[in-house]
Copies of this chain bind each other. A is one copy, B any other.
Amino acid sequence: MMALSWLLPRALPGLARPGCGRALRRAASASASAPAAPDFNSFVIRTNTCGELRSAHVGQEVTLYGWIQYQRQGLFMILRDFQGLIQVIIPQDEAHSHVKNLLSNAPVESVVRVTGIVTPRPPGQENPKMPTGDIEVKAETAEILNPCKKLPFEVKDFIKKSEALRMQYRYLDLRSFQLQYNLRLRSRVVMKMREYLCNLHGFVDIETPTLFKRTPGGAKEFLVPSREAGKFYSLPQSPQQFKQLLMVGGLDRYFQVARCYRDEGSRPDRQPEFTQIDIEMSFVDQAGIQRLVEGLLQYSWPEERGSISTPFPSMTYEEALADYGTDKPDTRFGMKIVDIGDFLQRSDIQFIQNALSYPHGTVKAICIPQGVEIVEIICRPDGSLKSLLTRFLGEEQQSELVQALNMQVDDVALLAAGEQKQVCSALGSLRLETADLLEAAGLVLRDPAAFRFLWVVDFPLFLPKEENPTELESAHHPFTAPHPSDTSLLYSDPTKVRSQHYDLVLNGNEVGGGSIRIHSAEQQRFVLEKVLKEDSEVLSHLLEALELGAPPHGGIALGLDRLISLIVGAPSIRDVIAFPKSFRGRDLMGNAPNYVTSEELEPYHIQVSWPLEEKEAKKN
C-alpha cells in the first residue's frame, strides 16, 4: 500500500524518518550561530511544503507541490515532498468532480499541485506517528504536472532484489527519506565547517587544479590525454602540492572541499572520486592542527547526533599496535591485547619458548567477554580453563592468566605467540571479528550512538618496502616532517625516525590524516634523494619553492564521505553520495565509462590496445 516504503532502507539505526526536514529546521534554528530557518518557499508559487504543515496552519489556504505517495479509492491521498507527508482529502461533491477525477486516476509517484484548506482531522482520526498527523488538506483545485509511468520494478521486492537496479534508478532511490536526510545532513555539516573555517578562523577557500601531472609513485592517478601527442594530465589524489605552494605563496590559512581521484580498480566501498576537507596552515604545529580539527568537528557536529567532547584522546602508533593490533583502534570497547609473555616464559610449552626466543618474539592474548557465546574454549565456573593449553600450564600459571586477562566466567581467551607485529595484528583482527560475532549473537559491545574520536600520533616516518625490505619508502608521503626529537636520526638511522604525521580515527575508521611538512629544501632533498632514492627532478618546482621563502606549515585532510557515513550510521559511503559508482567504478544509471569512436580519440593522439580476447570477440 505504501508504495514507496521500499525506498526507505530499514537497516540504518536511529534515524528519524518522516519529518526529517523539520528536524533540519529545528537544528538550524537552535544552533547559536546559525541564522533563522531557511525559507523553502521563496521564488515559487507554493505557499508551504507538505511536511511543514501543522495545526497552526488550520484555516489557511495552501498551495502544495509534491509526489503522490498513495491514493485510496478516490477518497484521500498522501502527498510527499522533501519535508514529509500530508494527507489530502479528495472532494466528493459534484462541483469538484474534475478534481476528484484527476486525483483518483493519477498513478502513484505522479507530480501534482494541490490547492486547498488546512483542516483538523476528525476526532479520533489523528495520526500521532505522522508529524502532520493532526491535520489534513481539503483539496479545492489540483493539477497533474507530470504523470508517472509504470515504476521499473515490483515495489515490495525491491531491496531484496538488486542493488544494481537501485543504482540504475538512483533518482528514485533519492526520493527516500533516508537519502534525502543523508544528503541534507551532509550539506548542513559542510556548511557549518565552512562557517567555522572562513568566518570564525580566517581560512581562505581556494580551488586548486585537478588537471595536473603525475606525482612520483602516482600509479593510482587517472590519466587525461591532452592534445599534445604523448602528453597526459593526471587527476591528483589530493591537492597536496598545491596546498603547500599556497603556504609558500603566503595565503596563511587555506581550505577546500576538494574533489580527489584514485584509480584502485575494484575495491569495495571505495569511489574513484571522493571528497576531502583539505586544510593547510602556516606557522602551526601538530597541536595547533589538532585543536583546529577538534573545534571544527565540535562546531559542525549535527545536534541530533549528540555532542562530542574535546580534546580528543591521543595514542602513539606503538601503543595502538600494542594494545589494539591496528593503527586505527576502535576504542568503543575493551578487549585490549595483553602481553602474557612474562609468566608464560616460565612454562614448558615448547612453541611459546620458541616464539619468545626470536627477536621481537612475544606471547599475547585477548579476552573475549562472554566468549562462550561464539567459541567453545572457555573459562569454567570453577575458574579453571577449558583448553589444551592447560595441560602445559600449572595451576598457578592458569590463575595468573585468568588474572592478567581479568577473565570472568564464560569468557574466552585467545592467545598468540610469534613475532610481535604479526601477533598484534592477528589479535587485532580477531578482536574486531569476535566483536562482530558477539553482537550478532545479541551482546551489546559497541554503543551505536557513541562517537569515539582518537588521534594516533608518532608514526614512523619511513617503512621498509614490502618487495625489498632493505629499501625505505615513506609511511605516508615524502613531504612529512620528522619528529622534532628525531631530526638528527634522519641522517644516522632513518628507520628509527618518528614523523609529525597524525591520523584522526573515529570508531575504528581512519577519517583524517595530516602532518607538519618539511619546509627546508635541504631536508626535503635529503629525504627524496638519499633516503627514498627517488629522482627529485619531478618535484623540482616544490624544492625550488622551499628555497624561496617557504614558511613552516602543516595541515590535514578529512575524508568527508566516510565521516558523513559514520555520522548517519550508513553502512556504505555510497549512501552519502548522490550519484555513486558501483564497486567496479561504473555509473549504472548513465552507463559510464563507455566506448568512444576512434575519431573521438584522434585529437588526443591515442588508440586503444585491445586485449587479444577482445580482439577475437570483436572479429566474430
Chain A interface (Cβ within 8 Å of chain B)? 28, 33-35, 38-40, 42-46, 65, 67, 80-82, 109-111, 113, 145-146, 148-149, 151-152, 168-175, 179-180, 183-184, 186-188, 190-191, 194-195, 198-214, 219, 222-235, 241-242, 245-246, 248-253, 259, 261, 263, 265, 272-273, 275, 281-284, 288-289, 291-292, 519-521, 541, 544-552, 577-579, 581, 585, 587, 589-596, 600-602, 604-611, 614
Do the beta carbons of A198 and B207 come within 8 Å of each other? no
Do the beta carbons of A250 and B607 come within 8 Å of each other? no
Do the beta carbons of A171 and B230 come within 8 Å of each other? no
Distance between Cα atoms of A593 and B228 in the complex (Å): 8
Chain B residue nearest to A607 in the complex (CB) = B609
Do the beta carbons of B231 and A593 come within 8 Å of each other? yes
Do the beta carbons of A224 and B224 come within 8 Å of each other? yes
Distance between Cα atoms of A183 and B254 in the complex (Å): 11
Do the beta carbons of A206 and B183 come within 8 Å of each other? yes
Sampled A-B contacts (12; CB under 8 Å): A43-B291, A44-B283, A65-B551, A146-B519, A146-B546, A146-B551, A170-B249, A175-B249, A213-B590, A223-B601, A227-B263, A606-B608
Do the beta carbons of A38 and B201 come within 8 Å of each other? yes
Q: Looking at the complex, which one of B272, B596, B608 makes contact with A214 (CB distance below 8 Å)?
A: B596
Distance between Cα atoms of A292 and B41 in the complex (Å): 12
Do the beta carbons of A283 and B225 come within 8 Å of each other? no
Q: Which 5 A-B pairs have the closest CB atoms?
A: A174-B249, A213-B592, A38-B202, A231-B593, A43-B288
Q: In the assembled complex, how far is the CB of residue A356 from the closest CB belonging to chain B, in whole angstroms?
A: 45
Q: Looking at the complex, which one of B171, B173, B201, B222 makes contact with A224 (CB distance below 8 Å)?
A: B222
Distance between Cα atoms of A590 and B239 in the complex (Å): 13
Do the beta carbons of A170 and B593 come within 8 Å of each other? no
Q: In the assembled complex, how far is the CB of residue A274 from the closest CB belonging to chain B, in whole angstroms?
A: 10
With a CB–CB cut-off of 8 A, which chain B residues contact A171?
A: 245-246, 248-249, 545, 548
Do the beta carbons of A33 and B33 come within 8 Å of each other? no
Q: A210-B273, A252-B81, A593-B213 are in contact. Are A281 and B44 (CB under 8 A)?
A: yes
Tallying the copies of this chain within the complex gives 2
Q: In the assembled complex, how far is the CB of residue A343 from the closest CB belonging to chain B, in whole angstroms?
A: 47
With a CB–CB cut-off of 8 A, which chain B residues contact A288?
A: 43-44
Do the beta carbons of B605 and A609 come within 8 Å of each other? yes
Chain B residue nearest to A592 in the complex (CB) = B213
Do the beta carbons of A245 and B170 come within 8 Å of each other? yes
Distance between Cα atoms of A130 and B98 in the complex (Å): 75
Do the beta carbons of B223 and A224 come within 8 Å of each other? yes
Q: In the assembled complex, how far is the CB of residue A20 from the closest CB belonging to chain B, in whole angstroms?
A: 12
Q: A82-B251, A194-B194 are in contact. Are A40 and B207 (CB under 8 A)?
A: no
With a CB–CB cut-off of 8 A, which chain B residues contact A550?
A: 111, 146
With a CB–CB cut-off of 8 A, which chain B residues contact A289?
A: 43
Q: A224-B222, A593-B226 are in contact. Are A39 and B200 (CB under 8 A)?
A: yes
Q: Looking at the complex, which one of B202, B211, B213, B544 makes contact with A591 (CB distance below 8 Å)?
A: B213
Q: Looking at the complex, which one of B80, B223, B581, B604 makes contact with A604 (CB distance below 8 Å)?
A: B223
Q: A148-B547, A611-B229 are in contact. Are A191 and B198 (CB under 8 A)?
A: yes
